[in-house]
Structure 1
């Protein structure tokens, strides 16, 4: 297998319920390098909680993504050439501490520049009563609360990192989908873990695998708005097979073009939440039926989100230039998931 043939495509869409209520997209994602090609390749996705107390979670998710790219890149430089057991130990211990501390530093700097206003606090009390104000007084970082998913891919290792809800999936060459990280039994109902939690570094799940042999065809990272749009987990896992089939038959450019429509339809017929999906593709596993070597790579530029649907018309941004498409162009399993209810803060 040629190991230098990975590419990432992705899309973040504003949730259907957020469109109706005028709420902004609180997800964020980005990759490094900005060409979306590697290895080395790092992808980070974050979901801002959006609760009354977490009224700056859009900023919190953007900071989480930026911090993750920086910290994991430094981790790669420091540990990539070390034996896998040493890398795994550092991923369990050093990496979460550095991620949390760096995010806290960024949040504290933002809060110093932009202190809470009286309007912020009045609105919080109107929405959440005195309890929300007391929680915020005890921990101002609650306003920025967000989750984190990240994958780092380099020749020596693959790194998986997760804090809170959302999904990381692997899809092998045969289309079989699995989760590389064990489930977290603490993620129930509307509860999630967060970068703003006390001792958040203890709540991370991490995994390190060695080498380039038997790497999956795809690695998917998605916020929980996607999985919550499906009737059950088995239905959600079929998405991995569907995406691999589409990449092989229609090519990366077509999938990239249609991705926003799929996710919007999923939110509208499912969770109503913001949905972000990043797809890490091993090109040698997705060129079986259609050559995709001439297609342009994605051009991410900073943490990405679709704050407004009108932003699609913005010049010079290929990730937003997704024209409306009729529903019959969208694969059924990606277009019309069965709702199973929303979760997350």
Structure 2
């Protein structure tokens, strides 16, 4: 088995976004079950971020593959959606269509992920046996590949985000003083180790989503992480303080300086949680330049679909 996929992108062109990413394996583990991606889209006018956490137990012994495919399939679907978000821009008349398309995206990702699993398992069955022609679907145990998924599409006008299972997505208002973190997809404290997963029937029905337009100021900092990071803190406020600290350091020292230290921070976190730990983020580096007057009458508060 291979380890996690490398981040799908790096520094965005044209200086519009700075991207941050790192992943480390849990203490004592042979390899990480986490995967992540950070990709610039549409000549740097949008970014696609994603993290996925394979379940990793004995019953999920191919979940490193499941998390990798979750990242790849979300990125493939979200890239086209991001281009459409850029095209619509600040024209509020097009936002209804964007939200409808965003509601369809989780099902598209889940179907593509399932097809990847079935194709792989047909050729290399996790059961060790052989699939009969036309029977791969019935014979495949999807739980072997189980994974969570968090993804986001960020432009200079708005952010869309989705989450299935545990982990954290944090929006930090870059213009606010002090920086204020928001967790729009949080469902509260996790109860035990059970989590929603792509391996479940119709997982898109459990995927949480959020969208938020911005009409003034800079876009928020968007930070995604697997639960190995938040579990390393004594309480969730400690994790939010970490997210705020990353934002403040990026503002004061620059994103490259934070990137240089990020893996060390995650290594220390992994020693406390014992889990694989992955973190990605996007920071706007320039102010928006497009005329957004048509959007100024719209509410800026995020809306759940």
Aligned partner (choices 190, 194, 211) of residue 193 of structure 2: 190
The yes-or-no answer on 1:163 pairing with 2:164 is: yes
How big is each residue's C-alpha offset from its partner over 1:258-284, in whole Å with a ceiling of 9 and x where there is no partner? Answer: 11000001111x211000000211224
1:246 alignment counterpart: 249
Equivalence map 1:14-53=2 (5 Å): 14-18=25-29, 23-33=30-40, 38-53=44-59
- Do the aligned partners of residues 271 and 201 (structure 1) sit closer, same or farther apart at CA in structure 2, a change above 3 Å counting? same
1:67 alignment counterpart: 73
Name the SS for the 1:230 alignment partner: coil
1:283 alignment counterpart: 285
Q: Deviation at 1:39?
A: 2.3
Aligned partner (choices 56, 64, 70) of residue 58 of structure 1: 64
Tell me how large the CA RMSD over aligned residues is.
2.6
The yes-or-no answer on 1:267 pairing with 2:270 is: yes
How big is each residue's C-alpha offset from its partner over 1:74-117, in whole Å with a ceiling of 9 and x where there is no partner? Answer: 2234565262233223323x111101001111111111222225
The yes-or-no answer on 1:106 pairing with 2:112 is: no
Structure 2 unaligned residues grouped into runs of 5+: 1-13, 130-136, 288-305
How big is each residue's C-alpha offset from its partner over 1:277-331, in whole Å with a ceiling of 9 and x where there is no partner? Answer: 002112249xxxxxxxxxxxxxxxxxxxxxxxxxxxxxxxxxxxxxxxxxxxxxx
Q: Deviation at 1:55?
A: 0.6
Normalised by the size of structure 1, how large is the TM-score? Answer: 0.69
Q: Deviation at 1:217?
A: 4.0
- Do the aligned partners of residues 225 and 194 (structure 1) sit closer, same or farther apart at CA in structure 2, a change above 3 Å counting? same
Normalised by the size of structure 2, how large is the TM-score? Answer: 0.77
- Do the aligned partners of residues 199 and 162 (structure 1) sit closer, same or farther apart at CA in structure 2, a change above 3 Å counting? same
Q: What is the alpha-carbon distance in structure 2 between the residues aligned to residue 244 and residue 79 of structure 1?
A: 25
How big is each residue's C-alpha offset from its partner over 1:23-66, in whole Å with a ceiling of 9 and x where there is no partner? Answer: 3100001122389x832210111000001111100000000000
Equivalence map 1:207-226=2 (5 Å): 207-211=210-214, 213-226=216-229
Q: Deviation at 1:213?
A: 3.2
1:318 alignment counterpart: none
Name the SS for the 1:16 alignment partner: coil
Equivalence map 1:223-242=2 (5 Å): 223-242=226-245
Q: Deviation at 1:118?
A: 3.7
- Do the aligned partners of residues 215 and 102 (structure 1) sit closer, same or farther apart at CA in structure 2, a change above 3 Å counting? farther
The 8 Å contact of residues 58 and 144 in structure 1, kept in 2 or not, is answered as yes
Q: What is the alpha-carbon distance in structure 2 between the residues aligned to residue 144 and residue 97 of structure 1?
A: 18
- Do the aligned partners of residues 34 and 267 (structure 1) sit closer, same or farther apart at CA in structure 2, a change above 3 Å counting? farther
1:145 alignment counterpart: 146
How big is each residue's C-alpha offset from its partner over 1:216-259, in whole Å with a ceiling of 9 and x where there is no partner? Answer: 44111000000001111111110122112211332222211111
How big is each residue's C-alpha offset from its partner over 1:175-199, in whole Å with a ceiling of 9 and x where there is no partner? Answer: 1111132x33695211100011111
1:7 alignment counterpart: 18
Q: What is the alpha-carbon distance in structure 2 between the residues aligned to residue 212 and residue 110 of structure 1?
A: 45
2:302 alignment counterpart: none
